[in-house]
Structure formats: structure tokens, C-alpha cells
Amino acid sequence: MSGATGPGTGREEKEERPVRVAIDTDVCIGAGQCALLAPDVFTQDDDGFGTVLPGREDGGGGTLVREAARACPVRAVTLGAPAGP
């Protein structure tokens, strides 16, 4: 017997799924790669540390946020599942 494959289970493998973006401020060293790569999602505060722009915690639906997470030299950018309703 095969398992159920009902509607809603066949998601397309796109990288544009929403994510929950966060920066671990204890780890961030202010390298600025995140703001450089995804300026629509990240910025730097007055001290140069990375921060997520207000309202962009969903990553803006773009793939650049994944690049930014990858590029962070100290892995301070975390991408998690979005908070469900």
C-alpha cells in the first residue's frame, strides 16, 4: 500500500518560499555581507552590525537572503520556517 499523496503535498521546488530571517547579534561581527548582498532585507546599524529591516523578516521572498546567509562569515544569519498562523 502506498502512502497518501493528497492535494497540497506537491509543492514546487522553488527557492522563493518565505522564511523567517534573523540575525544572531551575539555572533555578528559587522562584516556587512548581508546588507551588501540583500539590501532589501538587511541593513547595518550605527555600529555596523547587521540587522533585519522592519517588515522584512520573511526574507522578501527572494533568493538573495539565502546568499546572504551563506556569505555571512560567522553564520549569524539564520533562516527558519515562517511563523505559522
**Binding window for ligand SF4 (CB under 6 A); candidates: 6-14, 53-61, 68-76:** 68-76
Interface with ligand SF4 includes 60 (CB under 6 A)?
Answer: no
Residue type, 60: G
Q: How many residues bind ligand SF4 (CB under 6 A)?
A: 14
Candidate residues 15, 45, 70, 74; the one interacting with ligand SF4 per rule CB under 6 A: 74
Give min distance, CB of 26 to ligand SF4, in A.
Answer: 11
Whether 33 contacts 67, CB under 8 Å: no
Scanning residues 29 to 48, which ones bind ligand SF4 (CB under 6 A)? 29-34
| Helix, strand, coil share (%) of the chain residues, nearest 5 | 20, 15, 65
Whether 69 contacts 78, CB under 8 Å: yes
Query: What's the grid cell of residue 31?
Result: 562584516
Binding site for ligand SF4 (CB under 6 A): 23, 28-34, 49-50, 72, 74, 76-77
